[in-house]
Chain A
Amino acid sequence: MTLQILLAVSAVLFTFGLVAALTRRNSIMVLVGIELMMGAANLNFIAFWRFSADPQALTGVMFAIFSIAVAAAEAAVGLAIIILVHRRIRSSNVDDAEQLKG
């Protein structure tokens, strides 16, 4: 197995996340797309660490751990905002949240 395969898997996963974030109507599914993209980035960190010249430095592993922590914080705040918006406009459809539209 070469690095190519892992990077290709990661690219496909990132594309799924991007398509979900761009096309889904429900704001929770937009967040799901963002989480998928985060997962693809973490897979890249681990793949590059696995194929690096000096894996004992554990740089990729460290980066992936911090990335997961930041993703958890992002998910918590994002879902809180979604619930808040839902309480205000009674909808979790991204097209309905247009009060800030000029």
Chain B
Amino acid sequence: MNDLLQKFNALPWDAIGQWLVLLPAGVMLLAAAGAVALRNLIHAALCLTLSFIALGIVFIALGAEFVGFVQLLVYVGAVAMLIVFAILLTRPSDLAGAMSPFAGFGPVGGILTGAALLIALLAFIFSSPAAKTPMPSMPVAPVAQIGNLLMLDFVVPLQAVGVLLTAALIGAAVLAMEDKKP
């Protein structure tokens, strides 16, 4: 038993932790590419869900467990479901004619804009000395401390977000209600 524990501790945890971040990050990028490019809306929405799940795993592997689980609950549980429902509710008219999934001027302008932005961002990221800092040891982010911060230092933003969410959800319900006008 002790022997096994020693072998377990001797595993190269740094390298393993790195792959625990990089593998889900790769899955996330592939799924996001699928969500952007797939013609079938339901397939794109499912790719988006997979991308959200992988992003949550990246958060957890980076040590932000609470944010990772919030990401899984809110995005995978609520936002992805909302998007699938919206696709189902607005679908029939889209099936008329197999036209291009891309907007009027075609994808060229958008892809060029995206490529220009990506090149600029990567140039800045890879030339910045601040981005070369090595990884510090794993910080601890206990949920109790997050709760303390939310209830003490961040209590005003927390209440503001509560008001915002209430207003947004009531507003969404009012917007989507059927008009009963004669």
Interface size class, chain A: 35 or more
* Inter-chain contacts of A74 with B (CB < 8 A): 168
Q: What are 28 A-B pairs at a CB distance below 8 A?
A: A7-B125, A8-B122, A14-B117, A16-B32, A16-B36, A18-B117, A19-B107, A22-B114, A24-B36, A25-B99, A25-B100, A29-B101, A35-B79, A39-B55, A47-B62, A61-B64, A65-B67, A66-B157, A69-B161, A69-B164, A72-B78, A72-B79, A72-B165, A74-B168, A79-B83, A82-B90, A91-B93, A91-B94
Binding site for A on B (CB under 8 A): 18, 21-22, 25, 28-29, 32-33, 35-36, 41, 44-45, 48, 51-52, 55, 58-59, 62-64, 66-67, 70-71, 74-75, 78-79, 82-83, 85-87, 89-90, 93-94, 99-104, 106-107, 109-111, 113-115, 117-118, 121-122, 125-126, 130-136, 139-141, 145-146, 149-150, 154, 157, 161, 164-165, 168-169, 171-173, 175-176
Choose among A28, A33, A76 the residue that contacts B90 (Cβ–Cβ < 8 A).
A28
| Pairwise interchain contact A42-B71, C-beta atoms closer than 8 A | yes
| Pairwise interchain contact B51-A39, C-beta atoms closer than 8 A | yes
User: A1-41, CB under 8 A of B: which get 1 and which 0?
Assistant: 11111111101111111111011111011011101100100
Binding site for B on A (CB under 8 A): 1-9, 11-20, 22-26, 28-29, 31-33, 35-36, 39, 42-43, 46-47, 49-51, 55-56, 58, 60-62, 64-66, 68-77, 79-84, 86, 90-95
* Inter-chain contacts of B58 with A (CB < 8 A): 43, 46
CB-nearest residue of chain B to A89: B93
* Inter-chain contacts of A62 with B (CB < 8 A): 146, 149-150, 154
CB-nearest residue of chain B to A18: B114
| Pairwise interchain contact A36-B161, C-beta atoms closer than 8 A | no
| Pairwise interchain contact B141-A61, C-beta atoms closer than 8 A | yes
Per the bound structure, the CA–CA distance linking A91 and B164 in Å amounts to: 29
Given known pairs A25-B100, A72-B79, the reply for A20 and B113 (CB within 8 Å) is: no
* Inter-chain contacts of B87 with A (CB < 8 A): 28
* Inter-chain contacts of B164 with A (CB < 8 A): 69-70, 73
